[in-house]
Chains A and B, each alone.
Chain A
Amino acid sequence: MIQVLYFSWLRERVGTGAEEIDPGTAATAGELIQNLVVRDERYAAAFEDVSAVRVAVDQKMVDLDAPIAGAREVAFFPPVTGG
């Protein structure tokens, strides 16, 4: 099981900020997204434009094709707007 986190409008569209997810056959963050979008339309709405989605694996920003094997935490969020 992986702790999956959502921030900003991704959190609002999914309807939760954090959940435990069985990654199943997903080997990368991008494949995890593909598994989620067929699960429920909330995910389909959140991940409708994957180019607007950034990902962090164990709190490090990575590309969508980064492996998630052994990861404790995967976070999805839009490009950051702090400062």
Chain B
Amino acid sequence: MTTSPKDGPPPVVSVQSRDFDIGSEIEGLTASDRNIGAVVSFTGLVREMTGQGAISAMELEHYPGMTERALTEIAEKANARWPLQGIRIIHRFGRLDPGDRIVLVLTASPHRKAAFEAAEFLMDYLKTRAPFWKKEDGPEGAKWVDARDDDDSAAARWHNPS
């Protein structure tokens, strides 16, 4: 799915089972604004090696409706905090294989600092607030992934910016 300028601006948030193309997403986000000076992109991939060994696949469950709402809210928070010209968040669900793309976060801004910081903020918040759950298929069978404490502390540090 490519986005050309005549399709209008891309949606801020997409929750989908299909893959995405990073290049065309960047093109779609930046095509209509010549004052964007920096685009930061973060892509999350399915790692093969996990705590339980090498996994063969992963199933991502989500909460339809709330997921889109939570991601939109996170984007609004970032917009309120940094001078951004664009945000794009894509998160996949369903069955994914090692190496597959899971999540894309794009931030566009006049200068790089805001784009870098906002991208990190979006990922930290997404990790703790967006209702997704991973189940990995590995040597120990199918196992739900445990939430990580360091994800909580990564999100918490944005409450007290230095």
How far, in Å, is B49 (CB) from chain A's closest CB?
17
The answer, yes or no, to whether A67 is at the interface (CB within 8 Å) is no
Contact status of A8 and B144, CB under 8 A, knowing A77-B63, A81-B134? yes
Chain A nearest Cβ from B26, distance in angstroms: 20
Give the docked Cα–Cα distance between A59 and B60 (Å).
19
- Using A56-B63, A59-B65 as known contacts, say yes or no to A82 and B144 having CB atoms under 8 A apart: no
Are A83 and B123 closer than 8 Å at their CB atoms?
Answer: yes
**B127 nearest in chain A by CB position:** A83
Contact with B along A29-63 (1 / 0, CB 8 A): 00000000000000000000000000010011100
Chain B residues whose C-beta falls within 8 Å of the C-beta of A75 in the assembled complex: 63, 66, 131
Which chain A residues border B70 with CB–CB below 8 Å? 59, 61
Asked whether B66 lies within 8 Å of A56 as measured between CB atoms, the reply is yes
Total count of chain B residues near the partner, CB < 8 A: 28
Q: Are A7 and B147 in contact (CB under 8 A)?
A: no
Number of A-B contacts (CB under 8 A): 71
What band does the interface of chain A fall in when counting residues whose beta carbon is under 8 Å from B?
10 to 19
Please state if A80 and B130 are interface contacts (CB–CB under 8 Å): yes
Nearest B residue to A61 by beta-carbon distance?
Answer: B129
| B62 proximity list for chain A (CB < 8 A) | 82
Pick the residue among B103, B131, B145 that contacts A56 (CB under 8 A): B131
Collect the chain A residues with CB atoms within 8 Å of residue B63's CB. Answer: 5, 7, 56, 59, 75, 77
Other 8 A-B pairs with CB < 8 A, given A75-B63, A82-B132: A8-B61, A8-B135, A78-B133, A81-B147, A82-B62, A82-B91, A82-B131, A83-B130
Between A and B, 11 residue pairs with Cβ closer than 8 Å are A8-B133, A8-B135, A56-B66, A61-B129, A78-B144, A80-B127, A82-B62, A82-B102, A82-B103, A82-B127, A83-B103
Residue numbers of B with Cβ under 8 A of A are 44, 60-63, 65-66, 69-70, 91, 102-103, 123, 126-135, 144-147, 151
Interface residues of A (CB under 8 A from B): 5, 7-9, 56, 59-61, 75, 77-83
